[in-house]
Amino acid sequence: MDFNSFLTSLGTSFLIFVVLMLLFAWLSRRPGNEVVYYPNRVLRGLDAWEGRRRTRNPFAWIQEAFSATEADVVEAAGVDAAVYLIFLGSVLGILVFSGIVLLPVLLPVSGTDHNVKAHAQNSNGTFNDLDKLSMGNVQEKSPRLWAFLLGTYLISFVTFYMLWKSYKHVSDLRAAAKSSPEVKPEEFAILVRDIPSAPPDQTIKEQVDSYFRTLHPETFYRSLVVTDNKKVNKIWEEIEGYKKKLARAEVVYAESKSTSKPNGTRPTNRTGFLGLIGAKVDTIDYCNEQIKELLPKLEAEQKLTLREKQQAAALVFFNKRPAAVLASQTIHAQMLDRWTVMEAPQPSQLLWKNLPKKLYEREVRQSIVYGVVFLIVVFYMIPISFISAITTMENLRKLLPFLKVIVDRTAIKTVLEAYLPQLALIIFLALLPSFLMFLSKAEGIPSESHAVRAASGKYFYFIIFNVFLGVTIGGALFSSLKTIIDHPKQIVSMLGTSLPASATFFLTFVALKFFVGYGLELSRLVPLIIFHLKRKFLCKTEAEVKEAWAPGDFGYATRVPNDMLIVTVVLCYSVIAPLIIPFGVVYFALGWLIARNQALKVYVPKYESNGRMWPHMHSRILAALIIYQVTMFGFFGLKKFIYAPFMLPLIILSFIFAFVCKKRFYLAFYYTPLEVASRDLKEIPNLESIYAGYIPPCLRPEKLEDVDQFEDAQSHTSRTTSF
């Protein structure tokens, strides 16, 4: 790619961003679009334009995003969103402070040397003008390389400073959220797993109550034993489905009434598969009959589930917040695989199916999942090749003979042969994040936020290995695998050799990400089109309309790893090709600004982990920094710079910094400090409502007064008050 082609690509991406931003400014003011561009405010009961005026200024949203405080972000989207913005701001700070020093120094140092002219050879995928402003233009053994070595040290120390400052900030933010005077159910509960088998004369519920009442006589409140809800949940979902169908039918019936036809037309449906076959019935009467028939079954199954399907896990509740914190950090049993405890996740976070899984089963599952992920990361071309192989015409005809009639047609065969393998590849890569989330949950992880962190880590390793290293070294290392096996020490020099050759690709990649990617994020064109199509053709009830515009959350499982890829790319090129720094600054500045807008107006968090992901963000920024330092060590070696070993102390220092940060801050993220939990609450907690908040919907009593009956159903004898 020559310089003109690069500028054309950059200009096109910028033009797309401008068009998308103008579309956002116009569409967000249109009547009926508030639920797409301001759903967060709508769901909080606020007017989309409260405190603001409608304006034609396409940059008004920027002023609003800048003027909002961190407290506003926490109130609108939670601590997790505020922590994500801190992550973006930290990386932005690293690049801005480094760029202020490096660009005025390194560009003249490299631009006034003549190594590119001496070789008279363009690097693969780059152009002469960039080569002249990069480290590649500095001759071997040149004393000018000192500037690049010192630049590497500068970026590393700026990163240390920003990460330390941000870690402390996030730690304080988390402590403030955990010590909030607001009553939160999870702060009065612990999750107990690996409960041993109950004696013959006791239920698991009675065993748990007896055990914790003995150990915590003054503070134990009650327990909720996890049950096998598969059957009862199926009945409950059937009832809910009929209720939705009934509500929809009633709306259709009401709309059919008119002055000329006051009785209207009652909707009908068939009772068979997908409503296409079977007897034709009146939908309203049929749904009412089915609900009436299923309710006694649900009640009977609820009683059976509570008594007969108890499992080896429970939520234990305490009457004081500090008591729950102390219990969650105490070893309760002498044996490691019994009575294991942890802080309870939010009710909405719990992965109920995973809770009863025993310790050794979880360990085995984790090992298997890690093995699968390793194979996916390193040999991901194998499943892709397999998918491509089975999607050839000949194999499809063998595996699915009934498709012969279709695939033997010349026109269809030509189209399928041209696009089917590529389509299979695109679908596989699109499904990868969901597959990694499935694997994370398969480990036996107890909460949604923990599964998101685990999936994020797996996706990070995949994209670093297969996108960054794959593009840099080539073919995800497959083309160089024999060399690495025969000479493993050459991987550092190979990385140093290959990195400059991909400079243009990554410059264009970063520009495309922030201009087109963030443009689509801001304009919300896809959600807008989907919402209006659903509202016009599918939605009848208010609940269906609300479901159509439900905004979702930030999607940290994929968003954070993709940002980490850009961190790695920009850091690794920051000294080799300093021109990438302004691109990184624009990426993270736009990202911070747009994410701030989306947090305040669009996304609604599914859960709140109070910044629990920050240690993972911190460690992966450091991983990117170490990759950068190792790369620079290899590149200095290729330049035959005799002072290249000066990079080794810096790499060691990065590991020391990571160790110190973990010792200083991490435990306060893994556990809740007692001094934080001991701060006063604004009101006396309603323990009944806290307990009821954890009852699964399929078992939940309709009235709060029925909670005692729910608990008694799990025991042979009625509960006695313990305080």
Query: Does residue 357 have a pLDDT over 80?
Result: yes
Instruction: Give the pLDDT score at 515.
Output: 82
Query: Does residue 118 have a pLDDT over 50?
Result: no
Q: For residue 309, give the amino acid letter.
A: K
Instruction: Give the pLDDT score at 402.
Output: 58
Instruction: Residue 449: name the closest of 594, 610, 598 by CA.
Output: 610
Query: Does residue 126 have a pLDDT over 50?
Result: no
More confident residue, 179 or 9: 179
pLDDT bracket for residue 509 (50, 70, 90): confident
pLDDT in tens, 494-504: 555 556 556 66
Query: Does residue 280 have a pLDDT over 90?
Result: no
Q: Which residues contact 682 (CB under 8 A, 6 or more apart)?
A: 181, 182, 183
pLDDT bracket for residue 355 (50, 70, 90): very high
Task: Identify the bridge partners of residue 56 per DSSP, sorted by sequence position.
Answer: none
Q: Give the mean pLDDT of 10-18.
A: 85
Q: Give the mean pLDDT of 217-234.
A: 93
31-35, 110-114, 123-127, range with the lowest pLDDT: 123-127
Query: Does residue 381 have a pLDDT over 50?
Result: yes
Whether the pTM exceeds 0.95: the reply is no
Q: Sign (positive/negative) of CA torsion 698, 703, 708, 712?
A: negative
Q: Which two tokens stand for residue 182?
A: 């607001």
pLDDT in tens, 290-340: 999 999 999 999 999 998 899 999 999 999 999 999 999 999 999 988 999
Instruction: Of 45-49, 84-88, 392-396, 677-681, give the range with the top mean pLDDT.
Output: 84-88
Q: Within 13 Å, how many C-alpha atoms sit on residue 336's CB side? A: 3
Query: Does residue 639 have a pLDDT over 90?
Result: no
Instruction: Give the pLDDT score at 123.
Output: 42
> Are 626 and 553 spatial neighbours (Cβ–Cβ below 8 Å)?
no
Q: How far apart are CA 360 and CA 244, in angstroms?
A: 42
What secondary structure, in 3-state letters, does 408-464 show?
CCHHHHHHHHHHHHHHHHHHHHHHHHHHHHHHHHHCCCCEHHHHHHHHHHHHHHHHH
Q: Give the mean pLDDT of 415-438.
A: 66
Instruction: Of 87-96, 137-146, 534-543, give the range with the top mean pLDDT.
Output: 87-96
Exposed, middle or buried: residue 116 (CB in 10 Å: 0-12, 13-18, 19+)?
buried
> Are 531 and 548 spatial neighbours (Cβ–Cβ below 8 Å)?
yes
Instruction: Give the pLDDT score at 456.
Output: 93
pLDDT in tens, 571-621: 988 888 888 899 999 999 999 999 999 999 999 999 999 999 999 999 999
What secondary structure, in 3-state letters, does 570-589 show?
HHHHCCCCCCHHHHHHHHHH
Residue 144: enclosing H or E segment and its boundaries? Answer: none
Q: How far apart are CA 363 and CA 342, in angstroms?
A: 17
How does the average pLDDT of the chain come out, rounded?
83
Collapsing DSSP to helix, strand or coil, 174 comes out as helix
Instruction: Give the pLDDT score at 586.
Output: 92
- CB neighbours (10 Å) of residue 549? 22
pLDDT bracket for residue 420 (50, 70, 90): low
Q: How far apart are CA 576 and CA 580, in angstroms?
A: 9
Q: Give the mean pLDDT of 243-253.
A: 91
Instruction: Give the pLDDT score at 719.
Output: 43
CATH architecture, domain defined by 185-229+309-345+686-712:
2-Layer Sandwich (3.30)
Instruction: Give the pLDDT score at 416.
Output: 52
pLDDT bracket for residue 7 (50, 70, 90): confident
pLDDT in tens, 92-105: 999 999 999 999 98
Collapsing DSSP to helix, strand or coil, 83 comes out as helix
pLDDT bracket for residue 670 (50, 70, 90): very high
Query: Does residue 549 have a pLDDT over 70?
Result: yes
- Give Cα separations from 678 to 334, 382, 412 (angstroms): 28, 54, 69
Q: How many residues does the chain have?
A: 723
Q: Give the mean pLDDT of 229-248.
A: 93
Instruction: Give the pLDDT score at 268.
Output: 86
Query: Does residue 710 have a pLDDT over 90?
Result: no
Q: Which two tokens stand for residue 661?
A: 């940060």
Q: Where are the alpha helices (DSSP H) in 639-697?
A: 647-661, 667-670, 674-677, 687-692
Structure letter (DSSP) for residue 601: H
Q: How far apart are CA 378 and CA 571, in angstroms?
A: 23
Q: How far apart are CA 52 and CA 30, in angstroms?
A: 15
pLDDT bracket for residue 464 (50, 70, 90): confident
For tokens 């969103």, the residue is 81
Q: How far apart are CA 280 and CA 648, in angstroms?
A: 78
Query: Does residue 641 have a pLDDT over 60?
Result: yes
Instruction: Residue 670: name the closest of 413, 240, 328, 371 by CA.
Output: 328
- Domain residue spans in the chain? 3-180+490-676, 185-229+309-345+686-712, 232-303, 360-443
Q: Give the mean pLDDT of 432-452.
A: 93
- CB neighbours (10 Å) of residue 558? 20
